[in-house]
């Protein structure tokens, strides 16, 4: 990761190298294969290691996946929380938060896809009773992250720069736009920092346009 991206708030995981390497390999496997089709063998092969190295840190695939999910959210929280605490008008703060969030989706895409997979598993009921307890905690973590944006949206509406009726719907639609790079973005060969940021800025501009939609009153 370049110093410039790090200066924008894009964060990597701060773990010991062995665990970090395992989580990065696992995130790529879960992104490429999905949860059900990924095995500890797959992660070990991706890492060029033995299964024993994986099991030394993570007793099961479920626990490994949960830690990948948690790491993805940790990255996002560490990047955006300091910006959400900044004083001043809502719009410039929202733009900075949104820009950093989109860059997270791009630069740490495998982890963010794992978060999405986890949410889908939970919504589909495709988890064991033991997993549901962990997933409930992880989804609560994700909700607390979303609340950072909700507070800024509300301030922006009070200031007259955002116009929307339903905060929950607006927040969901906003994140659909901001999260979208996890489905379509792949870095091009030789892509520069400026090009990555320019693409992220286009996503942010699109999401911002939706925040002035007035719902039924615009019909």
pLDDT at 4: 38
Tell me the C-alpha to C-alpha distance, in Å, between residue 63 and each of 52, 71, 96, 120, 175: 15, 12, 33, 17, 27
What confidence score (pLDDT) does residue 7 get? 45
Q: Which fold has domain 3-218?
A: Tetracycline Repressor; domain 2 (1.10.357)
pLDDT of residue 125: 80
- In this prediction the pTM is 0.87
The dihedral through the CA atoms of 121, 123, 124, 129 has a sign that is positive
The helix/strand count (H/E) of the chain reads as 11, 0
pLDDT at 140: 92
Mean pLDDT by runs of 10 across the 219 residues of the chain is: 44 62 95 94 92 91 93 95 95 97 97 93 78 86 95 96 93 96 95 95 95 53
């Amino acid at each position: 990761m370049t110093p410039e991206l790090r200066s924008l708030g894009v964060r990597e995981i701060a773990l010991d190298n062995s665990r970090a390497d395992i989580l990065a390999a696992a995130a790529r496997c879960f992104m490429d294969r999905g949860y059900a089709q990924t095995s500890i063998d797959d992660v070990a092969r991706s890492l060029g290691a033995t299964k024993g190295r994986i099991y030394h840190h993570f007793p099961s695939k479920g626990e490994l996946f949960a830690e990948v999910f948690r790491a993805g959210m940790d990255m996002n929280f560490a990047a955006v929380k300091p910006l959400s605490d900044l004083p001043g008008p809502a719009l410039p703060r929202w733009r900075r938060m949104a820009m950093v969030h989109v860059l997270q989706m791009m630069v740490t895409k495998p982890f963010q896809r794992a978060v999405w997979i986890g949410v889908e598993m939970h919504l589909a009921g495709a988890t064991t009773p033991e997993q549901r307890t962990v997933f409930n905690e992880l989804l609560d973590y994700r909700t607390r992250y979303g609340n950072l944006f909700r507070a800024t949206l509300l301030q922006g509406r009070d200031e007259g720069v955002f116009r929307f009726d339903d905060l929950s719907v607006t927040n969901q639609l906003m994140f659909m736009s901001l999260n979208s790079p996890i489905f379509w973005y792949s870095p091009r060969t030789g892509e520069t920092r400026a090009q990555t940021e320019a693409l992220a800025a286009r996503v942010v501009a699109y999401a911002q346009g939706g925040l002035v939609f007035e719902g039924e009153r615009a019909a």
